Chains A and B, each alone.
Chain A
Amino acid sequence: MAAAPDRLRRARPLLGTFVEITVAHAAPDLMEAAVEAAFDAIARVHQRMSFHDPLSDVSRLNNHAAAGAVTVDPWTFQVLEAAVELHRRSAGAFDVGVAPVLQELGLLPGPSALPHSPSATTMDGQIELLPGCRVRFRDQHVAIDLGGIAKGFAVDRALEVLRERGLPQGLVNAGGDLAVFGPEPESVFIRHPLDPHRLIGHVQVANEALATSGNCIDLFGSGRVTRRAIIDPRTQEPPRAIAGVSVRAPSCLMADALTKVVMIQGEDSVALLDRYDAHAFVVSISGEIRVTSGWLDSKTLAA
C-alpha cells in the first residue's frame, strides 16, 4: 500500500477520532472523487448522531422526543432500529440509553446529577419508532448516545459510497472500527487493550468488518489507558472481567455494536454472535486471550 501510484489514502478528523479511507486500482480522478463523497457520508453521520452537537438528531431527540415525536434523518432512524433490535436480542446488554450514566461518570458532557430514576437509564421499551422516520421517547429521563454504534454505521455508509462509485478495492477505518471490500485482504493489527504501545493480534480482513472496543487512550499524554467508556446497563458499572474485544462481522455497525455486548456478556454472547455471523477476540483483564472458534477459521493469526 506504500507508494503504489494507483492507491489513494486520506485521513480526516471525524466522529471524534481519525477516519482513514484507502482505495486502489482505479483512475486517480475517480478515486479522489469517491473518497471525497465517502468522507461526506461520514460527515453526515457525524452531524446527525453527535451527542455533543446541539443541532444533531441525537440532541434534538434527547431534548424534545419525550414531549412529542421528532423527525430524524433516515440514517439516524436506521441506526435506532438496529439499536432497538440489538437491545432486545442481547437481553438488554446493548443499550443506547445509558447516556445519563455516562454523564454521571463524566464520560459524556452534561449535568453531573441528572434527576433520573435508575429504570429510566435504559432504553427498555422507551423508544418508539414511528412511520415517517419519527421517534418518540416514552420517558422524559431517557437520553440516548449512539457512540456505540454510529461509528460502525458511518464506516458502512462510506464503504457503500466507494462501491457505488465502482471502485474495485476499499478500506474505511474510523479509529479502529473498519471495513474492507475488494479482492485484496487487508492486514490489521489489534492493539493491546491495556497497553496501547503493544499489538496483541493480527488478522486478515476481506469483505467484512472489524471493530474493537475497550478503553479510551490518549497518546498525547502518557499514552496510557485513561478511562472505561463502556457501562453495563444492568449494573451501571464498567465490565470488570474483560479488557478489550474485537469482533469481525459482515457489517461494521454490527461489529461495532457487538463489541459492547461481548464486553458485558463475555462468553454468554456466543449465541448472539452466531446469529449475526460474527466472531470475537477477547482479552481479559489478566491478559488472557479467548476467541470464538469461527475467529480461527479465517485467515486470522493471533497468539
Chain B
Amino acid sequence: MTGWIRLAAPAAIVSAIVPPAYAVQYLSIAQAQKEAFPSATSFAQVDVRSWKAQSGGTVLGLFVVDHVVGKHLYIDYSVALDPGGRIKRVDILQYRESYGGEVREASWLAQFVGKSGASALKVDQDIRNISGATLSSHHVTEGVKRVLAAYGSRAR
C-alpha cells in the first residue's frame, strides 16, 4: 500500500565538479549548416551571421545564426531558410543558463541532496537533464520571426 513519506532536510553530498551553471553545446555552426543543407557543397558567407548554401551553381537556401540573451539565459540558434524564404528548420546550437556571481558555488552545491544513509550520490558528469517548471521558448520564437523578416527575401 502506497503512502507518503516526508523526506529529511537536504544534505549536500555532491562532488564539487558540478558546474554552477547548466550549459549544452549541441551543434557547431559548421555541423548545423551540414545538417540543415546535407546536399550543399559550399557555404558562401553573406554577412557576419548568414551563409548561402550552394550545390554547384544552385542556391539551396540561406543559413542564419542568431542569439538571444537574457539575464540568466543565453541561446545561440540557427535558422535555415529555403530559396522561397520559408523556414526549413530551427536548431538550438548552444544553450546556457548562467548565474555568474549570483550563485556562490557552495550554496549552489548545497542544493544537491542525497538519500540519507545511502552511498553518496556520485555525479561524475555535468548536469545533463533538468526537470522543472517549463521554460518558455517565446524569446527564440520572436527571434526567428526577426530573422525571417530580415532575411526571408534574401534566401534566393
Q: Hey, which bits of chain A sit against chain B, CB under 8 A?
A: 1-2, 9-14, 16-18, 20, 32, 151, 171, 173, 175-178, 186-193, 196-202, 205, 210-223, 225, 244, 246, 267, 270, 273-274, 282, 288-296, 300-303
Minimal Cβ-Cβ distance residue in B for A248: B131
* A198 near B108: Cβ-Cβ < 8 Å: yes
Question: Which of B2-10, B44-52, B54-62, B148-156 lines the interface with chain A?
Answer: B2-10
Give the number of residue pairs across the A-B interface with Cβ within 8 Å.
198
Minimal Cβ-Cβ distance residue in A for B118: A301
Contact partner of A12 (CB less than 8 A), chosen from B90, B118, B130, B136, is B90
Minimal Cβ-Cβ distance residue in B for A295: B5
* B90 near A292: Cβ-Cβ < 8 Å: no
* B115 near A175: Cβ-Cβ < 8 Å: no
* B132 near A176: Cβ-Cβ < 8 Å: yes
* B132 near A190: Cβ-Cβ < 8 Å: yes
A219 to B133, CA, bound (A): 11
Interface of B is mostly: loop
* A303 near B9: Cβ-Cβ < 8 Å: yes
A197 to B138, CA, bound (A): 20
A213 to B116, CA, bound (A): 25
* A288 near B6: Cβ-Cβ < 8 Å: yes
* B91 near A212: Cβ-Cβ < 8 Å: no
A-contact 0/1 string along B113-153, CB 8 Å cutoff: 11110100101011111111111111111001000000000
Q: Which 10 A-B pairs have the closest CB atoms?
A: A191-B132, A220-B70, A303-B7, A11-B92, A13-B137, A219-B73, A223-B72, A198-B111, A219-B72, A212-B131
- Interface check B29, CB cutoff 8 A: no
Contact partner of B133 (CB less than 8 A), chosen from A1, A212, A292, is A212
Known: A12-B90, A199-B112, A225-B133. A219 touches B125 (CB 8 A): no
8 further A-B contacts with Cβ under 8 Å, apart from A199-B112, A300-B115, are A13-B90, A151-B134, A189-B112, A189-B129, A210-B131, A221-B70, A291-B4, A301-B118
Which A residues are CB-close (under 8 A) to B102? 197
The bracket for how many chain B residues form the interface is: 35 or more
Known: A18-B95, A220-B73, A290-B6. A11 touches B26 (CB 8 A): yes
Minimal Cβ-Cβ distance residue in A for B123: A187
* B70 near A189: Cβ-Cβ < 8 Å: no
A151 to B134, CA, bound (A): 11
Which A residues are CB-close (under 8 A) to B90? 12-13
Known: A201-B113, A210-B131. A292 touches B71 (CB 8 A): no
Separation in Å of the A224 CB from the closest CB of chain B?
10
Known: A9-B26, A219-B73, A296-B115. A1 touches B125 (CB 8 A): yes
